[in-house]
Structure 1
Amino acid sequence: MKSKSLKIATLAHAVYKKCECCNRVKDIYFKMSVLDAAKANYLVGDFDLCKSCGQNFGDILNIKVSTENVLNDFNFSKT
């Protein structure tokens, strides 16, 4: 049930502010949403996480997290 109630999302752009896990001012790469424990339908709260804390929580919860963005579609032709 842990992975259903805790979800980690990678932000589109890093934000420089305090990590709510380690309390250091760093680039924030992840937002961990906390959903209600009963059915995981309602948002209870969230945490802003730096890269190392987000990756650590991902490892603990067995959730794949990444800060890399891979471009899948690319061509040299003009449109």
Structure 2
Amino acid sequence: MMGFLFSARECSEIKYLIRKELEEVLFDLGDYRIDEMVRKAMEERYHILFRMYARFVSPKELTKYIRNKKYK
């Protein structure tokens, strides 16, 4: 495990970057033309990004990015 110290401005920038990446992956996961193997890798990436994002935001903000099990 690693630890980092971020200023408030750096935290807001990291939140923004992760949020945009989550939105992009969600958009791409909605495209059913994507190969199943690529989709699996994208879902793993989404899960990692989601856990990172959860460390920076409140639970209320996090609920916007929770995926339903039916989409897996």
**TM-score of the superposition, structure 1-length normalised?**
0.36
The answer to which structure has the higher helix fraction is: 2
Structure scoring higher RCO (CA < 8 A, sep ≥ 6) equals 2
